[in-house]
Every structure is written in C-alpha cells, then in structure tokens.
Chain A
Amino acid sequence: MAAVHPVIAPEARADAVLDVRDLSIDFATPRGPVHALREVNLTVPRGSVVGVVGESGSGKTTLISAAMRLLPDNAELRGGAVLFEGEDVLRMSPQALRNLRGQRISMVFQDPMTALNPVLSIGQQMVDIQYRDRGLGRAAKKRKAAELLRRVGIPDPMQRLGNYPHEFSGGMRQRIAIAMALLGNPELLIADEPTTALDVTMEAQIIHLLRELQQDYQSSILFISHNLGLIAELCDYVVILYAGTVVEQGTVRDVFHRPQHPYTEALLVCDPALLQDVTRELPTIPGDVPDLVNLPRGCIFAERCPRVFERCRAEDPATRWVSAGHAARCHLASPLERS
C-alpha cells in the first residue's frame, strides 16, 4: 500500500533541499530479495537539521547510499525518487552526479580517516578538493582552507596545514573532516554517526560545533544517529526508521514529547538517560527485528508492539497525521483532518 500522504507539511516540502519520495529499495541475495527500504518519505527543508534514528537493520545506511547514489551492485530500485533540489538523483546523468557528490552534497563519516588520505598533508588535500574553483590561486585556496580550519577549532591552522592526518587526534581529525566537507559550500551535509568513535567530551564539542556551523552557514544537515540524546540536542526534525520504514516523523519536540508510534515510545523508554529512577531492571523492546526477506503481514512492528490488536496483523497501517508536520504509521495514531 503506497503512503499517499506527503509526510512533511507541503509548505516545507516546497523548499526542500532533499526530498525522498516513496523510496523502496531491495537487495538481491541468495535467499531472495531483502526489502531494505519500503515507501520511505523524508524531507530536509532548507536550513534545517533532520535527524534519522534507527537501530541496526533499519536501513539508515541504504538511505544515505541512495541519497548519494552509491548503492551496491545488488541493490534494486523498486520505486520512488530521491529529489535533490528538485532533480532526481537516481536518474541523474553521470556528469551531474559528479557535481553532486562532494560538491553539492558532502559527507562526514563515523571514521574521519574514511575521508582523509593518510599520505597527503591536510593542506594539500584541502587545496585539492577546491579544484573546481579555477578562479582562485593556490595561496588563496590555502588561506580559505586555513580559515575553515580555524572555524572548526584547529589552533594555528596555517602551520598545521603541513601536517598529515596521523599527526592529529581522533577529535581533531573529525573537525578536519567537517572542514573539508564544508569547503565546497555544499547545499546538504550528511553526517553519518559522526561522533560514535569519539569520547563524550569530544562528542559534546563536535555537536556544539555542528550547531554553530549550521547557524552561521544556514546549512541543511541530514544527521544519522542511534543516540537519541544527540538528536534532541542538534536536530529540528526527526525521522524514526524501523526495519526499512519510516514509522514516525515530525519536529523533535513533537516526537520526543508526544511520541505517537509505540516503537518511538519504546525507544525513548529504553534510553537509560531518560529513566528518572535508578533501576536494575532496564526496559527493553522484546523480540527481534523482522526478517526483511519474508515480511510479516500487517504492521511491521506488530510482533513486538505492546499495544498490538487484531487489525495490526492484518493491515499495514497508512501514515497518518497527528498534527501539522507530525505523522506516525500506526493504526492507533489519531489522525487530524487537514483541509
């Protein structure tokens, strides 16, 4: 059943940097197709930070790969589109794709070394990625690189341009990776668990930095994380992915304060940071993520849902509006009539 409702308010959708529409992707495997993403709708409005929350197997990685069209060979597009500035990434020409990756969309990875070449100085790398900018001389490119390094909190940036990645600590490398990602003035920044490999004090600093940069540059950020605390700290909107479907989305306040999907509710309850009273009996979500090869009938969460009732096992719920911009894919979500 296709999700007929647009999920984020139409006015936000009109000025979206990234607009994923009814995206369904399968992976061919010897066991049969894995339905990795099913009818995923997601919008990144210009100048906002959208968080994607999902546990392992939720399809986070597939979603990012689709946004950059870096899907593995065994991926098969079943339907939908990924509109970047109105243009479908999945049907773009190779030339347009080259412009897209690294220039119009950049990425910050969990491991900063993914983005850094270990045998080149960071100055060299930061000058190299400005190759598209023919009008600028080498010295000017270096100045621009140093300026960005200063902005992300690297002391003595002019001197440190000559250093190699291994001469920096993990936190510094992640700052450099962020500076490199911002160098091309991307329209969208995708941050894939950028702080998972870092210590808490460094994590707090990086999140703080991302928020400052977002405000300074009015950038649009798609922030992938499994850490609800970080999502609450940084994001304007949040999308909850479960087993390849968007089960709930809306503003961070709406979703965190008035979760409408039982899965979101359970996730929030499970976070030990949210438990007021000290307990040895931590809440859990019983059961396992369903097999994405043989999808269950009805609602994808029915097996583990504490509020499951007959209809859930028979009928896959449609995405329903609860309030403007807040939607949940659950039979129990009380829909709000829109004019």
Chain B
Amino acid sequence: MTVLLDVKDLRVRFRTLGAIRAKLAGVADPFLDAVLDVSFQLRAGTTFGLVGESGSGKSTLGRAILGLTPIESGTIRFDGMAPMGLSGSALSAYRRNAAMMFQDPVASLSPRLTVKALITEPFVIHGLKDRDLDAEARRLLDMVGLPANFAGRYPHQLSGGQARRVGVARALALEPKLIIADEPTAGLDVSVQGEILNLMARLQRELGLTYLIITHNLAVVRHICDEMAIMYMGRFVECGPTAEIFANPGHPYTHGLLAAQPHPDPDRRRQDVELKGEVPSLARRPSGCEFHTRCPRAKERCSTERPEPREIVPGQTLRCHYPLLDPAA
C-alpha cells in the first residue's frame, strides 16, 4: 500500500519567554519541546491512532502536520510532496487534501453560522464558485446521516452527536485524502460514540479515507485503529500494529496505560495502581529516558542514557532499555 503521510524526525517547540525577557531573566533555553524526534508513516486507507496523556504532544503533532503550528525541524511529506515548504496555491491544495476535526463538537463550529453555511464554507474558502451550494449541503448532510432540514440550524441547536456529524461533513466537503480527528468521541455519550465511529468507518470504506486519530481512549483505539503510537512527553515511546501492542505491550508506559483503563466488571477490580505520579512538566524534562521517574522497571541506566527507538518485533518499535517484550523471543 502506498504511503500517504511520511513524517521524519519532527520537532515542534514553543517559546516560553520573549528573546529580550529570556536574556534579562538569564534563561538560556526559553523553549519547550512539545514534539521530539517523531517519525512515522501513514499508509493510505488505514487508521492510525495517536495515544497519550495531556501534555504528551499528540494534539500538537496533529496540528503541526496540518501546518497550524510551525515546526522547528524535520520533514513532513504528504502524497510525495513536502507541504511545509509550499505556499500559495500548492498549500491551498494540501489544505484541500488534509482536513481536521476538532475536539469539541459544538465549540469547533462558528456559532453565528447555519449548518449549511458551515458545511459549504470549504467551497467558498477555496474559491470553488461553480458548485451549487444547496445541492452540496444536501449531499453532505445525507452522507453523514442528518436530515436535510438541519441546513438552517445553528450550532447551539444541535446535540453533541449532531454537531459531531456536522464536523464530519465539513471535513469531508472537499473530498480530502486524510482526516486528522482530535478526540472524535470526546464529550459524547457512549451510545453516540459508537454511531460516530461507525459513520467514520463507513466513510472510510466508501471513500478510501485515511485517518489519523488523536485520542486518550484506548478502548476506542483497539477497535478502530490499524496502527498506533503511544506518546510520552513529545516522543513516540511505542509504535506498531494495534493488535500487537494490545496483545504484547512492550513499553512499561504502554502497559501502565492499558492497566489504568477501568474495566466495567465489578469482579475485575484492580487492587493496585500501576502508574503512580503524573507526567512531569515539559519545562523540567527528566534526563535519560523521560519515563524513568514513573517507571516501575527503571534502573540506573534509564536516568542517564536515553533509549533510542528499536524494532523489537517486526513492525513494533519502542524506546526502552528494558522492554517487557523479550527481543529473543
């Protein structure tokens, strides 16, 4: 299968202090690394899950891929082109091919616009004047399973699930190849979650879409993602096929995350919490392996030497000196 998105050594950093203030305060490095050394490939027609806690850099990575956040170094190739160097019409073409769905279903819709205006706006922005906007609105609403009379509604008149469908319709308007979905199920009831995910799966089958799904919900990732990556403090700590990772988590952090998922069975209560403490501040990045401060398997080496990514099993890469997976096996 062809590679649609190829990310290499991506780094995104945020300035915490202005240049002059940093000088005055004597801060040598007024930057925070939000995404560090991230490399991965996204094959066309598949779904990739980005998993991590808040501050892991998963949302920043998604925004950086779309050019909403400037990147510090590294390359992003989309369909063989490098969009970050592009400008003008080529960048506009990239924007048509890669769409984003944002976290909050209602708040990501401009509040004073009707549903019709919202879902046909991509055509207006990209100057597609020959389109019949009424027909397009009907087509898109039908595609996401909303009745045509929703065209006149405003965002605050929609339920979370309906607003989410409008978000999907908007993302689909320009027939993109890639959709980046930031927490597509956040704020939705369990029964509605399933509807949205099924809708996305159906559209993927029908339109051959490629998804990059950013989420903290591992139960969802397990069902809908072909491949996944677990992020911790801006790095991929583990990356590989979803089924493999769920069956044999290699990184202690992955294992801890999986163990932290509550199971809806009163007979399977956990007696102890595996991962204690919390993600350190990005301003105080631990030396060596960033996870050593919380890792139950950490040894001395972990606090001094940073583990490089290793392919333990074919396809499954992780950054750990002492992985749970035995490379010999």
Contacts and interface: CB of A to CB of B under 8 A. Distances in A.
Is there any pair of Cβ atoms, one from A and one from B, under 8 angstroms apart in the complex?
A: yes
B60 to A, nearest CB: 16
A280 B91 CA distance: 33
B83 interface: no
Contact of A283 (B194, B256, B264, B265): B194
A227 B262 contact: yes
Contacts of B189: 55-56, 226
Given A55-B191, A278-B243, A285-B191, A200 B261 contact: yes
Interface in B153-210: 159-160, 189-195, 197-198, 201
A279 B243 CA distance: 12
B220 A201 contact: no
Interface stretch (B114-122, B129-137, B268-276, B302-310): B268-276
B260 interface: yes
A169 interface: yes
A268 interface: yes
A220 B266 CA distance: 19
A272 B263 contact: no
Contact of A199 (B54, B190, B198, B273): B54
B216 interface: yes
B223 interface: yes
A227 B188 CA distance: 11
Contacts of B201: 280-281
Contacts of B276: 205
A200 B260 contact: yes
Most buried by B among A169, A201, A253: A201
Contact of B191 (A202, A205, A252, A284): A284
A1 interface: no
Contacts of A64: none
Interface in A167-210: 169-172, 199-205, 207-208
The CB with the most chain B CB atoms within 10 A, among A172, A200, A230, A271, is that of A200
B265 A280 contact: no
Interface string A252-292: 11001100000000111011111100111111110010000
A275 B163 CA distance: 27
A266 B191 contact: yes
Contact of B262 (A199, A232, A281, A282): A232
A231 B264 contact: yes
B282 interface: no
A147 interface: no
A193 to B, nearest CB: 12
B262 A207 contact: yes
Name the residue among B189, B198, B262, B265 with the largest chain A CB count within 10 angstroms.
Answer: B262
B43 interface: no
Interface residues of A, number: 45
Contact of B198 (A227, A228, A282): A282
B216 A270 contact: no
Nearest to A171: B278
A140 B74 CA distance: 57
Given A199-B54, A204-B273, A270-B194, A169 B278 contact: yes
A202 B275 CA distance: 8
B267 interface: yes
Question: Chain A CB within 10 Å — which of B53, B224, B261, B264 has the most?
Answer: B264
Contacts of A266: 191
A266 B263 CA distance: 16
Contact of B223 (A229, A232, A256, A279): A279
Given A267-B191, A282-B198, A273 B264 contact: yes
A90 to B, nearest CB: 29
Can you list the 8 inter-chain pairs with the closest CB atoms, starting with the nearest?
A229-B262, A285-B191, A282-B194, A55-B189, A199-B53, A284-B194, A228-B264, A272-B219
Interface of B: 53-54, 159-160, 189-195, 197-198, 201, 216-220, 222-224, 243, 256-257, 259-270, 272-276, 278-279
19 contacts: A55-B189, A55-B191, A201-B275, A201-B278, A202-B53, A203-B262, A205-B276, A207-B262, A229-B263, A231-B264, A232-B265, A233-B269, A272-B194, A273-B219, A273-B262, A280-B223, A280-B224, A284-B195, A285-B191
